A and B are shown apart, each in its own frame.
With several copies, the nearest count.
Chain A
């Protein structure tokens, strides 16, 4: 289940500012392209992994912030704020084996990467760090790039949605 909270943003800001498009237009350079990376869906091979895996050394930005580059097409609670990280599910949840994909531009190297937005599943919503950036997201009848869908399909723990990962699956170019 994807959280839709531009509304909250609007509530917080004055209605008068609602025509500002800076935040959205600025991200258009990273227009999502769904690539053949559907075969690259990253599923945990190492469930024995314990600590949250941090972002990679050559990255920039704060993964607890909605502005972090990998989140260009995310829509949900950030697992980074829920006891996990951008690529690690919080304890007691299970990553979805299938998901939707986006493409985001890494400002540190100028490259585009295919990002896999696996859900972490089996617990009620985390409720922290709600982040909605729908760049390139499609309607639900085009599921591979649809972020309105609960992607907790095929898990052992059921479809309850807890939070969303943003996992680097490889360069997009």
Chain B
């Protein structure tokens, strides 16, 4: 770096800049108070350094996605430390930013992005970029078909297979298809038509479920090369009057909870490769019909405890994006509510860390603030403020087995 510094100075002197530098050295003899007798040592001359993060992401760090609606081409993800309440850094997104995908070892973030040659116009390029957590620098990049869905952020539009081998990108043009990227070879496997069905909810290393317009679920599978074959389809599971949201919750490798706008829950298992509907229950009990889930990320599941956390508000149909004023906690096994926790700030996103001693996070779109809470009672542990414009979804990282040189 030192050599570069002198190179730059040489360049400056070669250009017109030297004139100014000289002018500068003699100007500005402004009157100044004589310093008092020094009581402390003179400050040392400092070098400029650049911070590096850890090799692997700890479970209490959080990725906070900012879609920046008024300047949609500058979406980004912030990384914060939930324990310390500190801002750690930023990963640039692109137009209509969704979120990141964590590699299974927690060492890299995959960032799908859309860019235009001239800001918001000109040739469109969609890419997936790998950012090492350690330096947050853009690394390898794969250019994908410029078709990925542009919508409010949906994490199931950009899933990574559990083993980190393939990335699935849901396209909507309005033809529906899925682009598969080989994350190992850093190349596009292909684009596969998925007529009538959207998104990919992973149900195993090589299998997933899609949601279809008629309220049914469609299974899909990748072969070892990443090629997608569509499989069985269920009967329509939901009425159009009360559709399941497009943000279901994964509760085990192959099982997801689909939750309707009104709060009806349907469990579906794709372990066999045929989506198999299981238990159906409701978030609301007698006399609670006025309550509904809502927000951009209305629910999150904590696997170690088996608890589902839901942002609930009072509202009728059409309020599925309204912020929650309470967090309702359910045991998925018993289908019973175990807690009803009013929160002081309405929230549109909820997430919980994936470790055994978790932190609960909430955020309100437009607030720029993530609230870190105690899961037991949703009490506020700390707040992390100044997180951009429009927080959409929060992403707690996978719990990574201790390995490699953690710092």
Q: Do chains A and B touch in the complex (CB under 8 A)?
A: yes
- By a beta-carbon cutoff of 8 Å, the part of chain A in contact with chain B is 1-8, 10-11, 15, 18-19, 21, 24-25, 27-29, 31-36, 38-47, 49-53, 56, 58-59, 73, 81-85, 87-95, 97-98, 105-106, 108-113, 116, 118, 120, 122-130, 132-146, 148-150, 152-154, 157-162, 165, 167-171, 173
Tell whether, in the assembled complex, residue A4 and residue B296 are in contact, meaning their CB atoms are under 8 Å apart: yes
B276 at the interface (CB under 8 A from A): no
Minimal beta-carbon separation of A141 from chain B (angstroms): 4
Tell me the dominant secondary structure on chain B's binding face: loop
List, in ascending order, chain A residues with CB within 8 A of B70's CB: 125, 127
List, in ascending order, chain A residues with CB within 8 A of B2's CB: 43, 45
Tell whether, in the assembled complex, residue B151 and residue A150 are in contact, meaning their CB atoms are under 8 Å apart: yes
11 contacts between A and B (CB under 8 A): A4-B321, A31-B318, A45-B1, A123-B121, A141-B213, A143-B213, A148-B246, A158-B120, A160-B72, A160-B116, A165-B48
How many chain B residues touch A (Cβ–Cβ < 8 Å)? 112
B residues 109-126 near A (Cβ < 8 Å) are 114, 116, 119-122, 124
B residues 1-53 near A (Cβ < 8 Å) are 1-2, 4-5, 8-9, 11-12, 17, 20-21, 23-25, 27-30, 32-33, 35-36, 38-53
List, in ascending order, chain A residues with CB within 8 A of B49's CB: 44, 46-47, 49, 52-53, 87-89
Minimal beta-carbon separation of B148 from chain A (angstroms): 10
Tell whether, in the assembled complex, residue A149 and residue B44 are in contact, meaning their CB atoms are under 8 Å apart: no
B56 at the interface (CB under 8 A from A): no
B89 at the interface (CB under 8 A from A): yes
List, in ascending order, chain B residues with CB within 8 A of A34's CB: 24-25, 27-28
Known: A159-B114, A167-B47. 4 other contacts (CB 8 A): A35-B25, A83-B51, A90-B136, A170-B45
Q: How far is the CA of A83 from the CA of B8 in the complex (A)?
A: 27
8 Å CB contact of A24 from B1, B134, B318, B365? B318
Q: How far is the CA of A73 from the CA of B345 in the complex (A)?
A: 26
List, in ascending order, chain A residues with CB within 8 A of B95's CB: 159-160
Task: Name the segment of B225-233, B237-245, B299-307, B333-341 touching the other chain.
Answer: B237-245
Q: Which chain A residue lies CB-closest to B69? A: A3
Q: How far is the CA of A46 from the CA of B88 in the complex (A)?
A: 20
Q: Which chain A residue lies CB-closest to B67? A: A1
Q: How far is the CA of A173 from the CA of B32 in the complex (A)?
A: 10
8 Å CB contact of B87 from A25, A49, A83? A83
Task: Name the segment of B159-167, B309-317, B351-359, B373-381 touching the other chain.
Answer: B309-317
Q: How far is the CA of A14 from the CA of B319 in the complex (A)?
A: 18
Tell whether, in the assembled complex, residue B152 and residue A148 are in contact, meaning their CB atoms are under 8 Å apart: yes
B135 at the interface (CB under 8 A from A): yes
- In the complex where A33-B29, A94-B50, A158-B121 touch, is A140 in contact with B149 (Cβ < 8 A)? yes
List, in ascending order, chain B residues with CB within 8 A of A51's CB: 51
Taking each of B24, B313, B390, which has the highest tally of chain A beta carbons within 10 Å of its own beta carbon? Answer: B24
B198 at the interface (CB under 8 A from A): yes
Minimal beta-carbon separation of A32 from chain B (angstroms): 7
8 Å CB contact of A128 from B91, B121, B244, B386? B386
- Bits for B178-210, please: 1 = Cβ < 8 Å to A, else 0: 000000000000000000011100000000001
Tell whether, in the assembled complex, residue A90 and residue B51 are in contact, meaning their CB atoms are under 8 Å apart: yes
Q: Which chain B residue lies CB-closest to A118? A: B48
- In the complex where A1-B69, A42-B47, A44-B1 touch, is A140 in contact with B151 (Cβ < 8 A)? yes
List, in ascending order, chain A residues with CB within 8 A of B30's CB: 31, 33
- In the complex where A50-B407, A158-B124, A173-B35 touch, is A43 in contact with B5 (Cβ < 8 A)? yes
Tell whether, in the assembled complex, residue A92 and residue B135 are in contact, meaning their CB atoms are under 8 Å apart: yes
Q: Which chain A residue lies CB-closest to B123? A: A158
B73 at the interface (CB under 8 A from A): yes
- In the complex where A21-B314, A91-B51, A141-B212 touch, is A42 in contact with B12 (Cβ < 8 A)? no
Tell whether, in the assembled complex, residue A91 and residue B39 are in contact, meaning their CB atoms are under 8 Å apart: no
Tell whether, in the assembled complex, residue A50 and residue B46 are in contact, meaning their CB atoms are under 8 Å apart: no
Q: Which chain A residue lies CB-closest to B87? A: A83
- In the complex where A4-B152, A141-B212 touch, is A135 in contact with B325 (Cβ < 8 A)? no
Minimal beta-carbon separation of A114 from chain B (angstroms): 10
Q: Which chain B residue lies CB-closest to A36? A: B25
